[in-house]
Amino acid sequence: MGGPWKVASASAAASTLSEPPRRTQESQTRTRALGLPMEQSAASPEPPGPRPVLGRDSVQVPDDQDFRSFRSECEAEAGWNLTYSKAGVSVWVQAVEMDRTLHKIKCRMECRDVPAETLYDVLHDIEYRKKWDSNVIETFDIARLTVNADVGYYSWRCPKPLKNRDVITLRSWLPMGTDYIIMNYSVKHPKYPPRKDLVRAVSIQTGYLIQSTGPKSCVITYLAQVDPKGSLPKWVVNKSSQFLAPKAMKKMYKACVKYPEWKQKHQPHFKPWLHPEQSSLPSLALSELSVQHADSLENIDESAVAESREDRTGSAGGGEGSDDDTSLT
């Protein structure tokens, strides 16, 4: 679920979810290393509500306030409509007031046999993603910005017969004690313009909040606000929240369970997201990137497109994107 469409309350994690974001020494050290502004003193007022990363006119690496803001929105309840709740997976949707066709989706999942650090590794490991993410067409890292930020490419299959999408995103991550945040937003890179065979979508803000609930358990919340660049039919929105999002979360959980064994056979000590000195990516200056505004891309009208018979039957049982995970060995 590394793309913006791939999409987690848990009683065991209720106390964790209700706690306000805490500033850890690790977070302070990472912030100093990035040259980012430190958190204000306790006497300073907290910012009123989430601050969208893409509300800026220039590309910037998210700072501590952005991470706190993202966490607050992941934990927020007001304004969200529950559309799915079953077997430890919950999905909410929220229509954006300024554009009723643009929705936010939030998915939360309890992971009772997966440590938070394992889930964090799985979301970062691009080679492993190619094994378990059946929606991926192509994905690769482009360049490194800082020790905890990079730029990457991701293209994914959309429900037939919609056109497939791709994005270029600035991704940043931050360990916060035993919790982790990974988030991204769309940028433009001069060497990777939109392709004719794909629709360039826009990630307004997408990411994961991983919260440890014990030595071998965690809760993951996936939050996404994406402009797919086009008028999508209602069945796509319904299918995303009722079927695709829960299915993707469950597939990710299975991948997490199998990851330790897989990683032992595939460069077990190579984790550049934990050890920046291992990264071989070229460095890139922020000045070479620009913010990808949705209105600068072509809109694709697919509102009248009907769901294919293959996908309708696949939704009920097997079909494309089934839970077969024999490739994870």
Residue 225's pLDDT band, with cuts at 50, 70 and 90, is confident
Q: What is the pLDDT of residues 227-247, one digit of tens each?
A: 766 656 666 656 666 677 888
Q: In this predicted structure, what is the pLDDT of residue 147?
A: 94
**Chain center to CA of 44:** 30
Q: Which two tokens stand for residue 223?
A: 């939050």
Element (H, E) at 83: strand 81-86
CB 6 within 8 Å of CB 135: yes
The runs of H, that is alpha helices, within 242-324 are 245-265, 309-316
Q: How far apart are the first and last CA of the chain?
A: 19
DSSP string, 95-142: EETTEEEEEEEEEEEEETT--HHHHHHHHH-HHHHHHH-TTEEEEEEE
What is the mean predicted confidence (pLDDT) over 29-47? 39
| 231: phi then psi, degrees, rounded to nearest 5 | -90, 105
Query: How far, in Å, CA of 185 to CA of 167, rounded?
Result: 9
For 178, the token pair is 């035993």
Over residues 156-167, the pLDDT tens digits come to 988 777 788 899
pTM of the model: 0.75
For all residues of the chain together, what is the average pLDDT? 76
Res 205 pLDDT > 50: yes
Residue of 303, 206, 254, 211 whose CA lies nearest to 6: 206
DSSP character string of 142-211: EEEEETTEEEEEEEEPPSTTSPPEEEEEEEEEEEETTEEEEEEEEEE-TT-PPPTTSEE-EEEEEEEEEE
Distance CA 50, CA 23 (A): 17
Name the nearest CA neighbour of 92 among 213, 103, 1: 103
The verdict on whether omega for the bond into residue 175 sits within 30 degrees of 0, i.e. cis, is: no
Query: Average pLDDT of 211-226?
Result: 94
CA dist list (Å): 301 to 87, 125, 235, 305: 36, 34, 14, 9
Q: What would you measure as the largest C-alpha separation in the chain, in angstroms?
A: 59
pLDDT tens column, 302-319: 554 555 554 554 443 333
Q: Is 202 exposed, middle or buried (0-12, 13-18, 19+ CB in 10 A)?
A: buried
Torsion angle in degrees (nearest 10) through CA of 319, 323, 326, 329: 140
List the structure tokens of 320: 């494309």
The CA distance from 53 to 43, in Å, is: 25
- Alpha-carbon span 244 to 159, nearest angstrom: 9
